Amino acid sequence: MENDFLPILARGEEYIEFEKNRPGPPINKDNLPSYEEARLKLLANITLAKEKIKEMPDNLRVSDVIVNLKMAIGYTAKSFHPVNLIKQSGAEDVGSKKWTRTTTDKTGKPKIDVGKNVFLRINQESLQHFDKMLNQKQSQLLKGFIEDVQKIEDFYVSENNSLIDIFSADWEPGRIELVFHPFGELEEEVISKFINLFQAAGGDKQKINYKSYYPGPMFMSLYCGRDTLKQILKFNPIRTAHPLLFRGVPMFRGGLSGFPLPNPPKGDYRSSVLVGMFDGGIKEDHPLLKRYVTARNPIITLESEDDIEHGIAVAGSILYGNLKGYGAGSVLPTPPVTVESFRVLPLSDPYDINLYEVIDVIEEVVPKRTDIKVFNLSIGPYGPIEEDYISRFTYVLDSLSSKGERLFTVAVGNDGDMPNEEDRRIQAPADIINGLGVGSYTYDTNNTIIRAPYSCIGEGREGCKVKPDIVAFGGCEDHPYHLLGKNGSNKLLAAGTSFSSPVVASKAAELIGRCGVADPLVARALIVQSAVHPNEEHDKHLGFGAIPDSVEEILGCTENKVTVLYKNRILPTKFAKVNIPFVEGLDYRGPVDITWTIAIATPPNPNHSEDYTTNCIEDFFYPNSSIYQISSPDKKNNFKRHLINDKNEIEQLKVKGWKLSTNPITASGNIYKNEQQRRANFKWDTIVKKSMPINKYQSIQAPYLVLHGMDRNIANTSDFINYAIAITVHYKKYLGNAYNKTIENYNKLEVVRVRSINEIMIRG
């Protein structure tokens, strides 16, 4: 590295303070019916549900039945969950999903209202008990139960008729994935009855594979046709279904060219930093791979030339990136990482491709390889993600990275140029919440970064709505990606997200290997923080933007642009004050940008598709710790006032009954937001990047963030939420050295030691 390299600063957590808890937003119950009105409606719903259950054929249900508890619009927050009603009725909460209704606002524009649909597992005895409770006098009931009843819009038994609509009219017999509600001790009964139903409908039970994750759902992969599908979808324990299509490795958008490969790196050193990849395998004697890739074959199938071609291209992308700048006779640099290649293709039956074989391998390999912190997947099922459908593939990756101990980079898919926009949406498992979904960029005629036409678009699911998270160069017809050809002599000119994702994997692993304070969670935060978007804001095409070309750019500062890293943890319901190392007293009058990225790792909850993330950290930004709001007694007037400069005026107003705000004025907004508005501001997302441009340096004083730890489980307040924050303060036109002044003024910060490439090399 160059001598003038300025590393990021660490140990920002030394400037985190305790912050007292704050009250939540007021609850508005004005739109709810009276208890008596709600009670009568619910009793009628229960009567209809009992009749529906009684009419249900025995082969379509087990001893317990799934019923739907539809909550009123606007009552989606965890504090509104009908815990008292569920507990006192004797039912079991087994999941939820959102429901929507399109209305119009005051101006006549369409408005989407969001509600929650709760799935309950209930038996006949509990239904009778529920009915009996609703016929008791109101004075005999608990307040929580009464309030829960008022929030209920409907209570019904679904026949799953809408599930067939997920399958297009031209869908042909093939693999599907079913997701079953969790049934615990009744799971064997569910499996037995379903297999009997499947066989009676013409299915082959030998084509079934399933995996239970109780208390989560059970996932099942099976092969069937439309007639069989229509019959089995009526089985009450089924939550949702989806085609499980895999068309093999993504097609190359190009072919072998006459361009020869460059020469292999010189020397007998290789990197000690590992990247794992699950793909089609490699040729161990390939001249540009043989010293830097270890081939593993956890799947017992014969190798496929097409799969190996894809695997070689992906492995080459991890090691060398785009080879465009290297021609015949040039020598490649020693790669900053080495690769462990786990061959998972081809699958055992070419006529019935079952991706569960790949997932089984991943579940077996990843926990054992604790030495590998970053894994790449450039393969996955075909088809856009859907709101209420969480695939086993996504769930497994999120579970394996739920503590931030490893990072998965996943290609978002190559259907971004489909005719219908809904078909362009990212593909599983790129909807991962604890990893990075990676898209592709290319260049327009002005050499500006744009989304590659084929790269799938967002948004992602609740919990990680910005998708792709990041983009890397993936090539296009006009600007092809130069890859390793499988023959070892020529390049392959192609394009695809398959080759963008490994570039990000390589950068993430190198970052962890070269930076002593970095782990997978920190790497994720720093990659997003350093991403550059041409429009300086995230979108569904490029996500947070393009990854920098070098790790030095991710781990570096400039004299007027300083990045500080924080690593800490917080309990749910607690608040923390994160002081921002801002240098005051500079001879400067220009603008300042403060940008922060917060990354957490969280256990996924596949039972609740709209509440898939278990934890989150809500953030509030305060640019000036001395500017408060003071309000008149009638609350019709309010002013901004400085605690010190306007001290006398504030005291005079307080004597007249004016009230000073408890906290400074926040740039995040002082008006309480409802749950839908807070979710739109990425409340429950596992990674959030925000930027606050401030025109005048003088208007900033002791800026800070307030973090609020949150958990979906109201009763669970004992499990810490691990988080990483990267905060960058950019004194945009300052000509002095703010970097050195930050170190001088905040002496608890630590200049990160970034190892050189030579320091991570080992002989072999």
pLDDT in tens, 498-514: 999 999 999 999 999 99
Has residue 717 got a pLDDT over 60? no
Is residue 449 a contact partner of residue 443, using CB atoms and an 8 Å limit?
yes
Q: What is residue 48's three-state secondary structure?
A: helix
Sketch out the chain's domains with CATH numbers: 9-22+556-751 (no CATH), 163-235 (3.30.70), 255-555 (3.40.50.200)
User: What's the rounded mean pLDDT across residues 523-538?
Assistant: 96
User: What's the rounded mean pLDDT across residues 479-489?
Assistant: 93
pLDDT in tens, 655-698: 999 999 999 999 865 444 555 555 556 678 999 999 999 999 99
Comparing 154-158, 436-440, 635-639, the range with the smallest average pLDDT is 635-639
- β-pairing, 238-243 vs 218-224, is unpaired
Element (H, E) at 706: strand 704-711
User: What's the rounded mean pLDDT across residues 649-657?
Assistant: 93
Q: How confident is the model at residue 530 (pLDDT cuts 50, 70, 90)?
A: very high
User: What's the rounded mean pLDDT across residues 573-580?
Assistant: 96
Question: What does 503-556 look like in DSSP terms, one character per residue?
Answer: HHHHHHHHHHHHBTT--HHHHHHHHHHH-B-TTSS-BTTTBT-BPPSSHHHHHE
Has residue 572 got a pLDDT over 60? yes
- Report pTM: 0.95
Is residue 316 a contact partner of residue 275, using CB atoms and an 8 Å limit?
no
How many CA atoms does the CB half-sphere of 50 hold within 13 Å? 14
Q: How far is the C-alpha of 497 from the C-alpha of 438, rounded, in Å?
A: 7
Question: What does 550-567 look like in DSSP terms, one character per residue?
Answer: SHHHHHEEBTTEEEEEEE
Is residue 602 a contact partner of residue 572, using CB atoms and an 8 Å limit?
no
Q: How far is the C-alpha of 752 from the C-alpha of 726, rounded, in Å?
A: 13
Which range of 26-30, 71-75, 298-302 scores highest in mean pLDDT? It is 298-302
Q: How confident is the model at residue 716 (pLDDT cuts 50, 70, 90)?
A: low
Is residue 327 a contact partner of residue 353, using CB atoms and an 8 Å limit?
no
Q: Is the dihedral of CA 516, 522, 524, 527 positive or negative?
A: negative
Has residue 396 got a pLDDT over 90? yes
Please give the pLDDT value at position 673.
Answer: 52
pLDDT above 70 covers what percent of the chain? 95
Has residue 442 got a pLDDT over 90? yes
Please give the pLDDT value at position 670.
Answer: 42
∠122-127-131 over CA atoms, to 5°? 150
Is residue 454 a contact partner of residue 414, using CB atoms and an 8 Å limit?
yes
Q: How confident is the model at residue 352 (pLDDT cuts 50, 70, 90)?
A: confident
pLDDT above 90 covers what percent of the chain? 84
User: What's the rounded mean pLDDT across residues 619-629?
Assistant: 95
The angle, 0 to 180 degrees and rounded to 10, between the axes of the packed helices 35-55 and 143-150 is 70
Question: Which tokens belong to 390?
Answer: 């969480």
Question: Which tokens belong to 636?
Answer: 């019709």
Q: How far is the C-alpha of 702 from the C-alpha of 558, rounded, in Å?
A: 21
What average pLDDT is seen over the chain? 93
User: What's the rounded mean pLDDT across residues 573-586?
Assistant: 96
Comparing 373-382, 556-565, 634-643, the range with the smallest average pLDDT is 634-643
User: What's the rounded mean pLDDT across residues 578-588?
Assistant: 97
Is residue 382 a contact partner of residue 247, using CB atoms and an 8 Å limit?
yes
Q: Which residues pair with 17 in a beta bridge?
A: 577
Question: Which tokens belong to 617?
Answer: 């950290």
Comparing 154-163, 199-208, 595-604, 716-725, the range with the smallest average pLDDT is 716-725
User: What's the rounded mean pLDDT across residues 650-657?
Assistant: 93
Please give the pLDDT value at position 175.
Answer: 95
Has residue 253 got a pLDDT over 80? no
Please give the torsion angle defined by the CA atoms of residues 461, 463, 465 and 466, in that order, rounded to the nearest 10 degrees.
-130
- β-pairing, 627-631 vs 659-660, is antiparallel
Amino acid at position 122, single letter: I
Please give the pLDDT value at position 25.
Answer: 61
Question: What does 229-278 look like in DSSP terms, one character per residue?
Answer: HHHHTT-TTEEEEEE-B--SSPPPSSEEEEEEP-BPPPSSEEES-EEEEE
Looking at residue 38, the DSSP 8-state letter turns out to be H
Please give the pLDDT value at position 103.
Answer: 80
Q: Is the dihedral of CA 695, 696, 697, 701 positive or negative?
A: negative
Is residue 410 a contact partner of residue 445, using CB atoms and an 8 Å limit?
no
Instruction: Kindly provide the b/e burial profile for residues 249-267, where b requires at least 16 CB atoms within 10 angstroms of the residue's own CB.
Output: bbebbbebeebebbebbee
pLDDT in tens, 461-477: 989 999 999 999 999 99
Phi, psi of 314 (to 5 degrees): -70, -45
Edge-to-edge strands of the sheet including 575-579?
A: 16-19, 575-579, 704-711, 615-622
Amino acid at position 321, single letter: G
Is residue 602 a contact partner of residue 617, using CB atoms and an 8 Å limit?
no
Looking at residue 615, the DSSP 8-state letter turns out to be E
140 burial (CB, 10 Å; 0-12 / 13-18 / 19+) is exposed
Please give the pLDDT value at position 672.
Answer: 42
- State the CB neighbour count (10 A cutoff) for residue 644: 9
Counted residue by residue, the chain has a size of: 764
